[in-house]
Amino acid sequence: MKSLFILLSLISLIFAACQTTKIKKTIKFSEKITKKTFGKLKNGQVIDIYTLENKNGLKTSIITYGAIQVSLFVPDKNGKFDDIVLGYDNINSYVTNNPYYFGSIIGRYANRIAKGRFSLDGKKYVLACNNSGTHLHGGIKGFNSKVWKFVSSKKNKNGVSLTLSYLSKDGEEGYSGNLKVFVTYTLDNNDELIISYKAKTDKKTICNLTQHNYYNLNGHDSGDILSHILMINADNYTPIDNGFIPTGEIKPVKGTNFDFTKPTVIGKNINNKDEQLIFGKGYDHNFVLNKNGKKGKMTFAASVYSPKSGRVMEVFTEEPGMQFYCGNFLDGNNVGKNGAVYNYRNAFCLETEHFPDSPNKPNFPSVVLNPGEEYLTKTIYKFSVK
């Protein structure tokens, strides 16, 4: 009788466990878009935060200040969701303490222009310099520190999206032309974060936009990223001088510390005695993506894998280049979300864009935008686990 009781108890426990497993497996998310107030600027202007969620539970939030992506929650190999991008909890920190451009849309020109000077049709332009005599990421008040306007949000069977816009006026930071810019963040049900850009100008100008997320696939507050495994689909890169400006050369990565054509641990060679690594204080270089004759078309750019979390991020882009930066200037002097302290090399960036200093390098792909033309480009960050 005792044996029968034990047997029945075991059967009951197994049945209960199966039911619990069944319940967990049948948990479903649905596409959602929500809007809240994130905070106010000193002038009283309200900054909104929009949260997008797909049917698989991936979730991201974007604010109207700088069109900044403040969070991105994706699951690990055990199904646990973590926020994998660095950022802040409040608007004041983004306004007063964001020299790293966390999560921002960058423009009118992403990356550096030497001495803030270039010529276009024989006319010389002088841009605002904000980085040791260099024009960096759009100048003193780039797109990262502007208030963007809400255009639309959409929800359908494929996912959710948010479109914001900004008008960069003629003369802003030294640029010519009124440039109307639209950026759309889409979180689809294939677990892809798609960032689409569109721009038009009424005068000949230059345009090079990107998005500046700092990623850590173990979670934004989980230490350095040196054990992440990176692959970049680039046989060449653009070397820099000691001011981070490309020399104009395009050099092969084969046989160098910049060869990521096969999956390579980020920290493997990062501290080697290499002039380029010394100039960049680690990796802070533009890679010339292999387009294989598909100029301007969507192609595979990179993949990153964290053995600890099992998260995988793949990057696809229409851009010709990608800046790989591994948080060399993070120094622990700022407190991020939930009190996290972001220290040296606690994150990496994969900024898809045209090459740095292209207006001064005729052999680099052109960044000129003419009236009547439309600037269109798209980048996809796809998430999975293994």
Which residues are marked as active site? 212, 351
Please enumerate in sequence order all residues whose Cβ is within 8 A of that of 60, keeping only pairs 6 or more positions apart, or say none.
51, 52, 69, 71, 72, 73, 185, 187, 193
Contact 88, 80 (CB under 8 A): no
Handedness of CA 119, 123, 124, 125 (dihedral sign): negative
How many Cβ atoms from other residues are within 10 Å of residue 249's Cβ?
12
Question: Exposure string (b/e) for 269-285, b if CB count within 10 Å is 16 or more?
Answer: bbeeeeebbebbebbbb
The structure tokens listed for 197 are 């850009």
Please state, as a whole number, how many other Cβ atoms lie within 10 Å of the Cβ of residue 370. 10
Cis before 108 (ω within 30): yes
Using a 10 angstrom Cβ sphere, with 0-12 exposed, 13-18 middle and 19 or more buried, the burial of residue 1 is exposed
Tokens found for residue 146: 């502007």
- Alpha-carbon span 234 to 315, nearest angstrom: 13
